A and B are shown apart, each in its own frame.
Chain A
Amino acid sequence: MINLLAVKAIYFHEMNRTRRTILQSIISPILSTSLYFIIFGSAIGSRIKEIDGVTYGMFIVPGLLMLNLLTQSVSNGSFSTYFPKFNGTIFELQAAPISGVEMIIGFVGATATKSIILGLLIIATASFFIDLNILHPFLMVFFLLMTAITFSLFGFVIGLWADNFEKLSLIPLIVITPLVFLGGSFYSINMLPEIWQKISLLNPVLYLVSGFKYSFYEISDVSIWTSIITILLILLILIVITLLIFKKGYNLRN
């Protein structure tokens, strides 16, 4: 039987941490997003011609959203899992009658919730700077939810793997951020030379950004179905990896 009360305890414990660190968790990404809009949307964006029929300010909304969703989900997810190992309170999670799945639901649920709140706040912030019109709101919510859950789970795996703070920030800094920037967040891959277009197709984040763009403006670099399948596939791979980790007890028990 699932220990729902334990899941609830972990979830609210993590949400309380967000409340305590609201500046770092919520306000900081909103501020940086606003700066992106002021610089790229208004100052520079006003001199850039429309891309695929939308203004540059509108064009960057899905990319900015994805940038924040991915980096915050991975950072928060990895930190919330690594921190109990760092301060030694992991003993309590190991001794408590909680299964790996319950632990994942609690931790990943809380991280994904933070990311979803953040995503919604970024959309609200964007609407102050541009005339935002989401053509497929349900599809947008689907991508928002799936991206938040998938990359929170990715953060969870990184948190289990990391044994120091350097490793903790390694993946978000040297993998996630470059992939988002090179994944068509701030440009259409059609603007690249053909060879780079082909290379860009190897970047999984491109499919996520493209899916998001489609849900907003019906413009995309790849088919919407490819984007949907990609996010589901990444989630599936991460679920399998996480279950294997729990089975082997990697960094969790002796």
Chain B
Amino acid sequence: MKKNFIQIKKVSKIYKNKFAALKNVDLNIQEGEIFALLGPNGAGKSTLINVLCGITYHSKGDIFIDGIDLTKNRKKIKSLIGLVPQELHLEAFETVFDNVNYSRGLWGKKKDNNYILNLLKKLNLDDKKNNLLMQLSGGMKRRVLIAKALSHNPRILFLDEPSAGVDIELRKEMWDIIYTLKKEGVTIILTTHYIEEAEEIADRVAFINNGEIILVEDKNVLLNKLGNNKLVFTLDNSFKKVPAVLNKYSYKISKNKSCIEFFLSKEKNEVSDILLSIKKSKMDYLDFNIEKRSLESIFVDFIKKEKK
């Protein structure tokens, strides 16, 4: 079993105006995993990242990273971390190479032009190394921010909304970069609005809402546990009511009676049973398909439950 690299124990962040951005957050993150933090706007995702990066000071609780107490040795912990912020904040008039080199220096690493050049190559930025940052597109700027965060070989990489404003191609390229970093042993923590991003790349996910962690689970376990599939039939205009033979299944009819959804159980193989029952009952339909429940719908359900 991998060790808990980041331990967050009952951490709260209360601002001067008494707003509690984090409430008793307990969380363990393992070394070398990709951990996704999901939550609506204002849920506390960025605050938690800023606290872990030492930018924002937490009000209560303890944080240990690689066994080091954050409050006692903030500088040591900061040296382990690379941060890719949500906003594209960069110096306008500096070249890509100089700016990435500057970041390496800030983290107290000796100048290493070969390392920086290789890093730029890995991020498809080598042909832009002498360009001014103001000349780059949004996607390229995002890559530069990743290069800056990786310029000092961090052991932990925080990605705050890495896909914000990024096209599909670049998003997929970034996922490849993240996979490569994971292989190299870097622990990756990302916040995202794109649930499919978490579904695609995360090992574990946490749902955060109103400053509280409401769920932490292995992504595959979560999808297996709650990701029940649905058998969906598209109905024609002649449909009146559901035949009694189908009442033993769990189902839902859409308001305009255009489709009926059967919720499939994980344990039983119900698809063929339902199809047989429908054939027997002579219920007419136009089409059917199996829909997999996504992480997004699980997330939305959790947030709805929280609101209630």
Could you list which residues of chain A lie within 8 angstroms of chain B, going by C-beta atoms?
3-6, 8-10, 12-13, 16, 20, 87-89, 91-99, 249, 253-254
Chain A: interface secondary structure?
helix
Q: What are 13 inter-chain pairs, A to B, with CB distance below 8 A?
A: A8-B105, A9-B102, A9-B104, A9-B106, A10-B106, A13-B102, A88-B87, A91-B85, A92-B83, A94-B53, A96-B107, A97-B108, A98-B106
CB proximity of A249 to chain B, nearest CB, Å: 7
Partner among B54, B91, B108 whose Cβ is within 8 Å of the Cβ of A5 = B108
Check B108 against A99 for contact (C-beta < 8 Å). no
Check A92 against B103 for contact (C-beta < 8 Å). yes
Check B78 against A95 for contact (C-beta < 8 Å). yes
Check B83 against A5 for contact (C-beta < 8 Å). no
Partner among B83, B90, B98 whose Cβ is within 8 Å of the Cβ of A95 = B83
Check A95 against B55 for contact (C-beta < 8 Å). yes
Partner among A16, A20, A92, A249 whose Cβ is within 8 Å of the Cβ of B106 = A92
Q: Is B75 an interface residue (CB 8 A)?
A: yes
Check A95 against B105 for contact (C-beta < 8 Å). no
Check A5 against B105 for contact (C-beta < 8 Å). yes
Q: Which residues of B contact A3 (CB under 8 A)?
A: 75, 108
Check A254 against B81 for contact (C-beta < 8 Å). no
Check A89 against B90 for contact (C-beta < 8 Å). yes
Known: A16-B98, A97-B78. 11 other contacts (CB 8 A): A9-B102, A12-B105, A13-B102, A13-B105, A87-B90, A87-B92, A89-B91, A92-B83, A92-B103, A94-B53, A99-B75
Q: Which of B102-118 contact A (CB under 8 A)?
A: 102-110
Check B57 against A253 for contact (C-beta < 8 Å). yes
Q: Is B3 an interface residue (CB 8 A)?
A: no
Q: Which residues of B contact A8 (CB under 8 A)?
A: 105
Q: Is B249 an interface residue (CB 8 A)?
A: no
Q: How far is the CA of A4 from the CA of B102 in the complex (A)?
A: 13
Q: Which of B124-145 contact A (CB under 8 A)?
A: none
Chain B CB within 10 A, most for which of A5, A87, A254: A254
Partner among B75, B89, B107 whose Cβ is within 8 Å of the Cβ of A88 = B89
Q: How far is the CA of A20 from the CA of B107 in the complex (A)?
A: 24
